[in-house]
Structures are given as C-alpha cells and as structure tokens.
Amino acid sequence: MLFSIFDSYKLAFGAYAKAPLSPYGPTINDDILTVEKITDNLDFPTSMAFLGPNDILVTEKTTGKVMRVIDGALMPYHALDVAVATSIERGLLGIAVSKSLEGKTYVFLYYTESGNGVDESDVDAFVDPLGNRLYRYEFVDGRLINPVLLLDLTAIPPNSRGEHNGGKIRIGPDNNVYLVVGEVGGHETQAQNIATGPPPNGLGGVLRITQDGGIVDPAIPIFGTGLPLNVYYAMGIRNSFGMDFDPVTGNLWDTENGPAGGDEINLVFPGFNSGWWQIQGFVEDDLLERSTSEDDLVYFGNSEYADPKFVWTTPIGITALKFLNSDKLGQEYLNNMFVGDINNGLLYRFTLNEERDAIFINDTYVGNVELLEDNEIDEPKENQPLVFGQGFGGITDIQVGPDGYLYILSYTGSIYRILPITDSIVPKSAPSSPPAQNGTSSQSVSAVILGIDGDDSYSPEPLEIESGQTVTWYNGDTISHTVTSGRDGDLDEGNLFDSDAIISNQSYSLTFATPGEFNYYCIYHPTMVGEIVVNELETEPFTSDGSLTDEDNQDEDDQEN
C-alpha cells in the first residue's frame, strides 16, 4: 500500500505524492547514531536484498531492472531486465534472496509483467499486463537466469487503475516464500469480505508457497483446499508495502494502507482476516463508516479477524517494516520494529511487549507518550515520540545488512545506512538550519501550514496579496502537506499550481502574476482548504525620481488640450 510514474494520477490519489529528500540530509534522533549515503542514481527503487556483505540487489519499478550495488558502487550493468507494466503501483516490486541446501542462490522477484514485452506499454499504448507474477531465478556470475514461474495473478483492475499490487517478498523461518498482494484496483471478492462477491482469486492477502512453488502442508489447510485457497496465509488485506518476521518469536507482522483513514500495523497469524472491505483500523472506531463488525466478515476454514496492533487515523502512506535483529545500533534497539512511510519520509521505531504480541509504548520513548497509550495516532502531532529518523524522502524498503546496521531505501534513488558515529568513516556535520521565514521583502508574503483544521489549516486565511508578489508557505506541522490549486475532485485540480509534498519544516514558494481568486487545498488531506486573493497592482503615479509616469504625462496633456 504506494511513485515517478504516478504524476498523472497524484491529484486523484493523495497517497501517491511522495516526500522529497530533506535539503539538509536525513537525520536520526539519537546523538550517538548517524546516517551515511551508500549510493544513489537508482531509478525509483522499490525493494532490496543482500547477496552478502556490501553486496545488494535492488529492483527498479519502471525500468524493470535488477541493479547491483557492491561496496557502495552502483554497477554499470544490471543483473536482469524484465519488461514491466508501470501504471500507478505496477512495476518491478519485490525481491528476496535464499541460499539453497544445494549451494544455489535463489532470487525471487515479483513484478507486473508487460503485455507485449515493452516497458510502460500499459501507460503508453493501453496494453493490458499479462499479470502480477512471482518468479524464481538463480543468481550465477552476476546474472539472474533460469526463471521459474511460481505464481500467476491477475493484474487487471475493475476500476481501470493499476494500484494496490503489493509486492514485498520474505523467506520465512520455515524456509517458505511469503508474498503480500493487494486487491489490485478494487477487486471485490470474498477474500475482500464481500459475501456476495466471486470466490477468492489470490488477491488481497499474504500468500505462502514452497521455494519450488508447491503447497505448504497440503494436509493441513488454513483457508481451504484447492487453488487459490490453499496458498492464502492471510486475507482481507487492502494493500501492503511491508512485512517481516519477528526474529524472537517467528511471528509475521505487516503494514496495511488505508484509504482516507486507517493505516495499520498488524500481527499476521495463519488464517488472519484483516477486515477489508468491511473494516479498516480498530473495529470499534468504524473509520469506514459502514457500521460493520467482525461478524459481517467472510470466513474460510480456520480464519479469524483480529484488530490491528497500531493505527494512524490519518494515513501516512505506510510502507516498509523491518525488525532489527542486531545490537549494532545499541542494545536498546535490539529486535525493535522499524517502519517507514512514503508521504513524509519518516522512519518510525516501535517496541513490543514482553510476550511480543502487541506494541508497547514505554519509557524508552521521548515526548508525550500518554497520547499513544491507545496505540492510535488520532492527530498527526502525536507521532513525534515514534519518529526515529526523518528526511529520507519516501521510504520504499528497510533491511538489516550482514554488518548488523539498518539500511533505508528511498524512492529518490538512494540507499542510506544507519550506524553509530564511532563506526562511521564519514564525519558527522552539524545540521543546517532552515532559512528564515520572515517574509521581509516587499515582494514576498509568508504563510504557515498549521495542520488538518478545515479552513483554518493555512494561515493567514484568506491570504490577500498584490499581483507580482511571491507567497512562501512554511510547513509547521509534523507531517507533509501540499499546496494544490482547486478543490478535491475538481477536474482541473492542480493544473494551475501544485507543490507536491512539503515535508515538515520545509517551504514552497510561488509568484502570482495574474489578479484573481485562487482556491487551494492539500491532496493528502482534502479538508484542508485555503484561498489566495490576488489584487491588481496599483501603479504609482510617480517614478522613483518623483516625476510623473509616461501614462500620467499623457493624461495631463489630454486635459490641457
């Protein structure tokens, strides 16, 4: 559940606007830790997997290439290039590496396969993709060879949008392959808890197969026998961009994207039903306003609904999830859960309770933790104790390297490593200060983005200026917002101006040359609205030397005649 090809769709779907990198670089909220850039110049990377120390395979969404990064250098050749459909959330999406008992290195790839063997043909020529497909390759001499098709799922959406394809792959403690798949553009089957819908079709859940593509424990079905029921590990998932296994318990956790509300972190057990299409967020909150309960869901076999373990009422575009099975950042971070988002470029840290079946907000967090005792962020500013790092740009993957450090993949094309300052060979510089937002120039007017509060979200409101003046909006909130012309749902929204994501403590400037009244809003949070009134600049009758302007001289001559 979440990219450069999204530009033509971003105005309709706020989650597709992505946080930029901070101009001051990513930072960590722990003075003993620092961030190093490993590499950049990747083309919209979506996932990464380690082949070995300082040896990373990275998937590129729209090129269909698997790139290799060795000792921080992006190799000039690719390990594989596949033809991908790329509309919205389609593309080359997931990767996992496994070493077989025979000594082979298997690489599992999940991607939306092009319908005619040409990248982006679904966008350029409206060619339907062949499907969302999971392949197994062998890594030999720097190349991926011998593809074996393991899963073939539909990529054709009923709503004409190529969204919610999921894509993360994990090799479980049981050595089986786990793949999370969204409902692909609004499929409404019984796997999405639509009782009157068609049978499950392999979408909207976590799928589990053996590394050879076989059924796991066919004699002990979870949801039922026969394809596709016997490959489901979990159902009722709208879309996900992150999952990982707890290194202590072996339990699977995932992230799930909500629509207008309800981003989630879930503990995923065999037979887990996450509730979508009927429930998002905590069932008692009824965020979808459908007045449904767990009794209204569709159950197969031994399936069971469970509430999420953590909820953002206002979506953040939640993405990657990873447990740090290392004490290299400090003993206090051992086996903590780290989560990223696409909207704000924030990295969140979570601790679990003693039983490791729930998120536990404890005294290791800094700030007002009482508001988090309900494991729900009702107002964006409540997230501050959870923020471990910021400024990464939209985060698409998180991994732990063989060196025990935390690696962050940014859609902007960079890989970062978080490590102790004492282990870093890059000197840590003092953070830069944001430019002053004084608006002292006669041609510049300052405004502040306050947060999600209707027509009080931007200040001043309305904003009145003269033509030729520049407005600079400073984001004083803790999450990203936009300044986008029009109102949500307008056919021409964003045509006049669109800031894209303005991350916390950053700004956006725009000069208005034409008089008029201009509505604007935030595409992440459409209830945030503002208005700019641009008045025509009144020309002074005198020039800088005190003489009349040419126009006024002409008026004076006319009067004399």
Cβ-contact 143, 223 below 8 angstroms:
no
Tell me the β-bridge partners of 405.
Answer: none
Burial degree of 184 (CB within 10 A; 0-12, 13-18, 19+): buried
Strands 415-420 and 318-323: unpaired
The pLDDT value given to residue 405: 98
Asked if residue 530 lies in contact with residue 520, where contact means CB atoms within 8 angstroms, the answer is: yes
Could you give the strand order of the β-sheet that contains 415-420, starting from the edge strand earlier in sequence? 33-39, 415-420, 406-410, 395-400
Closest among 228, 230, 210, 212 to 220, alpha carbons compared? 230
The residue type at 289: E
Q: Is 451 left (phi over 0), alpha (psi -120 to 50) or beta?
A: left
Beta-strand ranges (E) seen in 190-335 are 205-209, 232-235, 243-245, 252-256, 263-268, 272-273, 304-305, 310-312, 318-323
Q: Do 392 and 21 touch, CB atoms closer than 8 A?
A: yes
CA distance to 114, 128, 339, per residue, from 84 (Å) = 4, 11, 27
176 burial level (CB within 10 Å; 0-12, 13-18, 19+): middle
Query: What pLDDT sits at residue 382?
Result: 94
Give the phi and the psi of residue 422 in degrees, each rounded to 5: -65, -20
Show pLDDT as tens, one digit a residue, over the chain (561 residues). 233 323 333 333 444 678 999 998 999 999 999 999 999 999 999 999 999 999 999 999 999 999 999 999 999 999 999 999 999 999 999 999 999 888 899 999 999 999 999 999 999 999 999 999 999 999 999 999 999 999 999 999 999 899 999 999 999 999 999 999 999 999 999 999 999 999 999 999 999 999 999 999 999 999 999 999 999 999 999 999 999 999 999 999 999 999 988 999 999 999 999 999 999 999 999 999 999 999 999 999 999 999 999 999 999 999 999 999 999 999 999 999 999 999 999 999 999 999 999 999 988 898 889 999 999 999 999 999 999 999 999 999 999 999 999 999 999 999 999 999 999 987 654 444 444 444 444 578 999 999 999 999 999 999 999 999 999 999 999 999 999 999 998 999 999 999 999 999 999 999 999 999 999 999 999 999 999 999 998 755 433 343 434 444 444 444 444
Half-sphere exposure of 246 (CA within 13 A, CB side): 22
Q: Distance (Å, rounded) from C-alpha 291 to C-alpha 273?
A: 18
- Determine the 3-state secondary structure of 149 from DSSP: strand
Element housing 521 (H / E)? strand 516-521
Which tokens in the block code for residue 417? Answer: 């490593």
Say if residue 228 is preceded by a cis peptide, omega within 30 of 0. Answer: yes
Contact 539, 502 (CB under 8 A): no
Domains annotated for the chain, with CATH where assigned, are 16-361+392-423 (2.120.10.30), 444-535 (2.60.40.420)
3 state SS of 234: strand
Describe the strand order of the beta sheet including 516-521 as a list of residue ranges.
463-466, 529-535, 516-521, 484-485
383: left (phi over 0), alpha (psi -120 to 50) or beta: alpha
Q: What is the pLDDT of residue 427?
A: 62
For residue 155, the surrounding DSSP H or E stretch is none
Give percent helix, percent strand, percent coil of the chain, each to the nearest 5: 10, 35, 55
- The verdict on whether omega for the bond into residue 308 sits within 30 degrees of 0, i.e. cis, is no
User: Is there a contact between 364 and 209 (Cβ–Cβ < 8 Å)?
Assistant: no
The model's pTM is: 0.89
Residues 6+ apart with CB under 8 A from 366: 29, 385
**What one-character DSSP code corresponds to residue 276?**
T
Kindly report, residue by residue over 145-161, the tens digit of the pLDDT. Answer: 999 999 999 999 999 89
